[in-house]
Structure 1
Amino acid sequence: MLVVNAAVWGSGYTILKFIQASITTQWMMGIRMFFAALLLGLISLPKLRRIHLRRYIIPCIALAVTYWLGFMFQLKGLEGMPPGRNSFLVDTYCVMVPFLIWAITRRRPGWQHIVAAFVCIVGLGFVSLSGTGGAELFHVSFFDGITIMSAVFYALNLVIIGMLGRSYDAVGLIFLEFAFCTVLFVGGAFLTEGMPQASWATPEIIGGFAYLVIGSTIIGQMFQTIAVQKVPTSQASIILSTECIFGVLASMVFYGERLTSHTMVGFALIFGAILLSELQLPKRHAVSSRTDS
């Protein structure tokens, strides 16, 4: 489930970039969330009727707000960069998860997480490398910065899911999260982006929305929420981190993104930091005094 999730999320960056060229950000996400909530509600109606959704309201508002903020920052960043680059910067949320758990539960991250954070920062520097030398050598652009901010909110969303997963039904959590996200995006769109346009209803855009709604939203979020209930959050983060690899591959094939040498070094460092942060290295065991005959 987590591998499929990573694949549909990673390839979804290129679809988002394509739709973003024609539709304003909050309308794009509002339409996506509305149809995702509608389809999920219809498919899961018998189960939703058995769930006491009132007790889900507060947790799902927290999930929706972090999801909404994550997408708002991510899509603003996507306006100024290729999809593959955007996917790697967003995927730094995996390195942030242990530090957010520390802030919430006081469970201090280990040396791996500290080293991983340092390696990730160096990787971000290479990704943002301007090539002009001097003070501009490691210049983080505005779009890079707000994309990294989106990773903070995605990390917080994953931590909340991990804390709630064993006490709440996955379908109930996802349905209300999508419903509340619809309200946030559509409300923001009416306030800042005007009315939707009939010219948006082209076959290409409708097809893109179908992929995002069914694949990246319903299947992706459902698989993540179910899987995080069955495996540790850190293990889930390792598998989900491959999203950035799928993101770059889709961007290179369908968007024509080209990678420079320093960008490739940066991507490798970021991915290495993600693995270092999440992998459980074997502990040293005392050598037994027993000798074999």
Structure 2
Amino acid sequence: MEAERKRRSGDVRTILLADMAMLVIAVFWGSGFGVSSWLLKTISPMWLLAVRFTLSALFLACVLWRRMAALDRKQMVLAGGLGVFLGFVFFAHIFGLQLTTAGKQSFIAGSNVAMVPFLYALFYRRWPGAVATVAALLTTTGLLIMAFTPSMAWGMGDGLSLLLALGIALHVLIVGNLSRRMDPVGLTGVQMAATAVFLVLAAALFEPMPHFGGLSPKIWGGVVYVALCVTAIPFLVQNMAQRYSPETHAAILLSLESPFGYVIAILLGQEVLNAQVVLGGVVILSGVLLAESEPFLRRFFSRAEVTGG
């Protein structure tokens, strides 16, 4: 009994550490919307994606090549397929960003958190749990409160952003599945490499080659930032963390990129804090806290059942 108690306690600590890691990368992802929107004023969308993921893939290949090479052929194919899928997800991101605002896209993309429990039930034929589902819906409600305006209009860019949300939700589910079936570090490296190859080919096919030599050091600094701090490192952390954290937790925590992006905009003087934002933030926080309490609630009720028996 004591050994089982220690094992469960260790499992809870592992989940909490994984969740905290995803909370950190949500901050960096939140900063990526504004930086990408700024870079699009200078670099065409396809080539921005191609350069971003090429730099990410090269960085990861330099540090992870042994782990990447250790994957077997089937794992390579699965990781490569995930990379190509991620390329399509970023199509929706970058083209949607051209037709809507960074803030609006970040909130619409955050709606993926409501999709994950339903997609999870569809794929695994079981609900992820009542607590996790309610937490996901609470988080989504908070995001909608923060984003809503009476004059809000729906455009093509918003439709692409909704497609982006679906892609993110599916990506969370696929990563959760694959990270438990193979080395998540090697998975990340191969995934980024496949995404980079796919996007370079797509950019060469659909857009003329830009004159990269004419870009200023400031622009290159922004490109390096999104390549390393918004792409390579966060995706590595996500894949490692999702080996231990439930998919609903991942969706909730990663969706915090939206409010974090808004907070960053407020700190930069680009947005104004108001009561609506505060209310939405409180609802989101309640959803996050409920999700994080799930392991403790599960342990409490399990202990109560054993005691009652």
TM superposition score category, shorter chain reference: 0.7 to 0.9
Distance 1:122 1:231 in 2: 22
Of 54-63 and 109-118, more deviation after overlay is shown by 109-118
Of 161-170 and 111-120, more deviation after overlay is shown by 111-120
Q: What whole-Å deviation, never above 9, does each CA across 1:48-86 have from its counterpart, x for those lacking one?
A: 34x034222331233123312221112222223333332
Q: Cα offset for 1:140?
A: 2.6
1:165 to 176, 179, 185: 179
* Aligned equivalent of 2:65: 45
Q: Cα offset for 1:171?
A: 2.1
Q: What whole-Å deviation, never above 9, does each CA across 1:129-172 have from its counterpart, x for those lacking one?
A: 343xxxxxx64332222212101111111101111112211222
* Residue identity opposite 2:27 in structure 1: A
Of 214-223 and 72-81, more deviation after overlay is shown by 72-81
Distance 2:73 2:140 in 1: 40
Are the counterparts in 2 of residues 78 and 86 from structure 1 also a CA contact under 8 Å? yes
* Residue identity opposite 1:108 in structure 2: W
* Aligned equivalent of 1:18: 38
Structure 1 segment 66-81 matched on structure 2, within 5 A: 66-81=85-100
Distance 1:232 1:115 in 2: 13
Q: Cα offset for 1:271?
A: 6.8
CA RMSD of aligned residues (A): 3.1
> Residues 139 and 121 (structure 1 numbering): CA distance in 2 closer, same or farther, change over 3 Å?
farther
- Uncovered stretches (5+) of structure 2, i.e. residues with no partner: 1-20
Distance 1:47 1:39 in 2: 14
Of 165-174 and 257-266, more deviation after overlay is shown by 257-266
Counting matched residue pairs gives 281
Are the counterparts in 1 of residues 37 and 97 from structure 2 also a CA contact under 8 Å? yes
* Aligned equivalent of 1:65: 84
Q: Is residue 233 of structure 2 the alignment partner of residue 219 of structure 1?
A: yes
Distance 2:285 2:101 in 1: 18
Are the counterparts in 2 of residues 36 and 218 from structure 1 also a CA contact under 8 Å? yes
* Aligned equivalent of 2:18: none
* Residue identity opposite 1:23 in structure 2: I
Q: Cα offset for 1:184?
A: 1.9
Of 197-206 and 116-125, more deviation after overlay is shown by 116-125
* Aligned equivalent of 1:35: 55
Which has a greater percent of helix?
Answer: 2
Are the counterparts in 1 of residues 116 and 170 from structure 2 also a CA contact under 8 Å? yes
> Residues 98 and 44 (structure 1 numbering): CA distance in 2 closer, same or farther, change over 3 Å?
same
* Aligned equivalent of 1:92: 111
> Residues 165 and 230 (structure 1 numbering): CA distance in 2 closer, same or farther, change over 3 Å?
same
Are the counterparts in 2 of residues 129 and 262 from structure 1 also a CA contact under 8 Å? no
> Residues 116 and 46 (structure 1 numbering): CA distance in 2 closer, same or farther, change over 3 Å?
closer
* Aligned equivalent of 2:221: 207
TM-score, structure 1 normalization: 0.81
Q: Cα offset for 1:21?
A: 1.1
> Residues 67 and 96 (structure 1 numbering): CA distance in 2 closer, same or farther, change over 3 Å?
same
Q: Is residue 28 of structure 2 the alignment partner of residue 8 of structure 1?
A: yes
Distance 2:67 2:138 in 1: 45
Q: Is residue 270 of structure 2 the alignment partner of residue 256 of structure 1?
A: yes
- Uncovered stretches (5+) of structure 1, i.e. residues with no partner: 132-137
Of 240-249 and 169-178, more deviation after overlay is shown by 240-249
Distance 1:232 1:108 in 2: 12
Q: Cα offset for 1:16?
A: 0.8
> Residues 63 and 10 (structure 1 numbering): CA distance in 2 closer, same or farther, change over 3 Å?
same
Q: Cα offset for 1:115?
A: 9.1
Are the counterparts in 2 of residues 36 and 217 from structure 1 also a CA contact under 8 Å? yes
> Residues 9 and 116 (structure 1 numbering): CA distance in 2 closer, same or farther, change over 3 Å?
closer
Q: Cα offset for 1:204?
A: 1.1
* Aligned equivalent of 1:237: 251
Are the counterparts in 1 of residues 128 and 248 from structure 2 also a CA contact under 8 Å? no
> Residues 246 and 266 (structure 1 numbering): CA distance in 2 closer, same or farther, change over 3 Å?
closer
